[in-house]
Structure 1
Amino acid sequence: MSDTHRDALTRAALEMAGRGIPVFPLWPGTKIAAWHRPARCPGTGACADGHANPEDLATLDPDRIRWRWSDRPWNVGVFPGPAGRIVVDCDQPKTGGGPDGWEQLQELAADRGGPLPDTWTVTTPSGGRHLWFRVPPGCRLRGTVKHIASHVDTRCWGTYALAPGSVFEGGAYELFDDTSEAELPGWLIQANVEHASTALSGSGEKPVKAPDAYVAAALRAETDRVRREPLGQRNKVLCTAAYALGQLVGARVLDEHLARAELHAAVAAWGTPESRVKDHGVIETSLAAGARNPRRITGKAA
């Protein structure tokens, strides 16, 4: 490949780093990180204290980026998790017909009340789309494969995506929509997290199926109650709402990260950033207290 292409990939890496997203070189024309696997770790250098992953070594340093990309046209691996982002990867069906990942995501948005906001988007060589979102503070999501839908994956902690300009199988990743990154909607957080299928309702009792619809309704009700509360009783209402949701977390029917993220969003709606640290502290304390006293879940929770 030409020096022009190498320089273009260097600029792509610098641009992503400038957006606060760490980068790491991938072998030219591939999705493979230019790094050894754990089984072949030499235990020296960056791995002297244990095997280091590309996610650990990805950088924002422009001088390191220029040096690393100076010798060849490395593809640009980008790590959304450490940057507080997530990539929703809408893929094309490999064989046959049926809806693609983009259509599946739109259907899911309609089913869950949406919306699916416009956001920074990259097209892939196969005809898919990478939708970039900001993850709410305190919410740590792992990458998933076919969890949201059969043609929808996510890239977050523990995974990486490719930056615009990277080349794979004769095509390129290209910027499609330069809209600012939207915050990941609550319904999409819920769709992304791993849900427990059962909950222990007490000592000596058998696990019962988690009432997903009930849990979703409880999450909406508690966070809406917080969001609507006027000045005067906010601390008490936040405490009781977080405790109630913590009980569902303790019963293993509600993901802790989702509960925290939705409570943070509800508090943010108050428009009182001066109390944000105190409010988040109330959330943490009350969630933990509720989790220590799990809700007794029955087949018909009420």
Structure 2
Amino acid sequence: MNEHLLNAALTAAERGWYVFPLRPGVKFPALHGERTCTGTGPCESGHRKWEQRATTDPDRIHATWSHGPFNVGIATGPSGLLVVDLDTLKPENPKGTPDGATSFAALCERAREAAPDTYRVRTARAGEHLYFTQPPGVRLHSTKGRLAPKIDTRGWGGYVVAAGSTTPTGAYEPLCGPEATPLPSWLQSVLQPAPKAATAPPVAVAGQSRRYADVALTAETRNVAAAQVGEREAKLFRAARALGRFVAWGDLPRHVVEQALQTGGEAAGLSASECRSTLRSALDWSIAHNQSSRRTA
């Protein structure tokens, strides 16, 4: 047993974070997969994945790490965590591509928010993990690139390598911040999924559909215009994603949505260029993802 890794697992568990073993020296779970499950022990009533088997029980942790020098994985969902993963650049990335830390700093600046002071871990490749607690009653899942390129998040369905673990490329080391602080509201607003098309009432007449779209446009524009400092860009982003589906379905012209939300964003205090940049990316994404689900009469 490697005492250092055992202590890393126990330290994480003392924080209330659910841990499970990773293979020695790497980042992959050391637990068996569904195909090789024997249906015994913890899986007697059905296969249990690493997220289900993660634990804070010191006795189970001692028993597990007595079998080998396992790295430590933290199941972020059961732990109530949302971890922002700031990746570094790879040789194959195009010249001029910003790394995760640079992109996150830009996000904070655009939201007019200071960089959050929270528990942070330096990753083996010199990136950073920013640990936040998930808001009560909210279940945020892992994302890839939703915030920006080179920024992923780990929530339900994901895990991170805990401080104290080591891989051939380096060690995971705590940097600063005594504890994980609550996820900032402006980050939560961007990470929460846009309302699904199913939330719109089913209608059979195209005229009724367009009237619903007009009501949604008015409401979203009013919501953006009334946004407070710290939430303006996030509300503009979410509104554009929500209204983009009406553009994809042919209920609203894109230029009408852009003009209305541009006016609302500027009324809230955003610059014209900030509004255009946010609207372009959010509408492009929403239209592309909703074209295949266009409603039929």
Range of TM-score over shorter length: 0.5 to 0.7
Distance 1:202 1:52 in 2: 39
The question of whether the paired residues in 2 share the 8 Å contact of 1:122 and 1:175 is answered with: yes
Counterpart in 1 of 2:193?
A: 194
The question of whether the paired residues in 1 share the 8 Å contact of 2:140 and 2:155 is answered with: yes
Asked if 1:203 corresponds to 2:203, the answer is: yes
Number of residue equivalences: 229
Distance 1:75 1:219 in 2: 48
The secondary structure found in structure 1 opposite 2:7 is helix
Counterpart in 1 of 2:140?
A: 141
The question of whether the paired residues in 2 share the 8 Å contact of 1:24 and 1:77 is answered with: yes
After TM superposition, the structure 1 = structure 2 runs for residues 40-189 of structure 1, keeping only pairs within 5 Å, are 40-94=36-90, 95-96=92-93, 97=95, 98-189=97-188
The question of whether the paired residues in 2 share the 8 Å contact of 1:12 and 1:165 is answered with: yes
Structure 1 spans left out of the alignment, 5+ residues: 225-247, 255-296
The secondary structure found in structure 2 opposite 1:177 is coil
Q: What's the CA shift for 1:146?
A: 1.5
The question of whether the paired residues in 1 share the 8 Å contact of 2:125 and 2:169 is answered with: no
Q: What's the CA shift for 1:158?
A: 0.8
The question of whether the paired residues in 1 share the 8 Å contact of 2:117 and 2:177 is answered with: no
**Which residue, 27, 30, 36 being the options, matches 1:31?**
27
Distance 2:38 2:222 in 1: 48
Distance 2:222 2:19 in 1: 38
The structure-2 alpha-carbon separation of the partners of 1:93 and 1:50, relative to structure 1 and needing over 3 Å to count, comes to same
What one-letter code is carried by the residue in structure 2 that aligns with 1:124? T
Distance 1:144 1:215 in 2: 29
The structure-2 alpha-carbon separation of the partners of 1:201 and 1:120, relative to structure 1 and needing over 3 Å to count, comes to same
What one-letter code is carried by the residue in structure 2 that aligns with 1:165? G
Residue by residue over 1:249-292, the C-alpha shift from the partner in whole angstroms, topping out at 9 and shown as x without a partner, is 9xx949xxxxxxxxxxxxxxxxxxxxxxxxxxxxxxxxxxxxxx
Percent of residue pairs identical: 38
**Which residue, 192, 214, 219 being the options, matches 2:221?**
214
TM-score by length of 2: 0.68
Counterpart in 2 of 1:242?
A: none
The structure-2 alpha-carbon separation of the partners of 1:179 and 1:168, relative to structure 1 and needing over 3 Å to count, comes to same
The question of whether the paired residues in 2 share the 8 Å contact of 1:9 and 1:76 is answered with: yes
Distance 2:25 2:111 in 1: 38
Q: What's the CA shift for 1:163?
A: 0.7
Distance 2:46 2:227 in 1: 43
Q: What's the CA shift for 1:220?
A: 4.4
Distance 1:52 1:103 in 2: 38
Q: Name the stretch that deviates more: 41-50 or 205-214.
A: 205-214
The structure-2 alpha-carbon separation of the partners of 1:201 and 1:42, relative to structure 1 and needing over 3 Å to count, comes to same
The secondary structure found in structure 1 opposite 2:144 is strand
The question of whether the paired residues in 2 share the 8 Å contact of 1:118 and 1:179 is answered with: no
What one-letter code is carried by the residue in structure 2 that aligns with 1:217? V
Distance 1:65 1:27 in 2: 15
What one-letter code is carried by the residue in structure 1 that aligns with 2:5? L
